[in-house]
Amino acid sequence: MKKWIHSDYILGMANLNPKRTNLPVIIWADHNGVDRTVSHRESPRVKISKGDVSISVSIEEDPQVLAKSGNISKSDMRDLKQGIDYVARNWDIFLKHYQDTDFSFDDDDLKDELRNRGDYR
């Protein structure tokens, strides 16, 4: 089994795009085990974005907004709320993906599980 060393892999996040989720936003899901410049160990999160605005929400049954970009219009916030609801509905899958440190539940597994629930095409 290959040992993962920082210089041997690309840092990245799975992006769940509107074409596949039927949402007006993009959801960015990260692995906790991937080395990042910002630590999120205390609060597992996903990023939800629409154009130039974005929010980070906690991965839990009732996701909380942890951070947001500048001024977000009411219209954009309504769209971002749809992403929050999507995370709430699938929090257990996002958490499993976030906590994966050995790629046993990678981006493809995340998408497959969402597809099994009917939340991804």
Quick one: pLDDT at residue 13? 86
Residue 8 has pLDDT above 90, yes or no: no
Cα 42 to chain centroid distance, Å, stands at 16
Quick one: pLDDT at residue 7? 42
pLDDT band at 5 (very low <50, low <70, confident <90, very high): very low
Alpha-carbon gap, residue 119 to 11, rounded angstroms:
25
Say if CB 11 and CB 25 are below 8 A apart.
no
pTM over 0.75: yes
Alpha-carbon gap, residue 81 to 91, rounded angstroms:
15
**95-120 pLDDT tens trace:** 999 998 888 999 999 999 999 999 99
Alpha-carbon gap, residue 114 to 121, rounded angstroms:
9
Give me 46's structure tokens. Answer: 């996903």
**DSSP state, residue 38:** S
**21-70 pLDDT tens trace:** 999 999 999 877 555 555 555 689 999 999 999 999 999 999 999 999 98
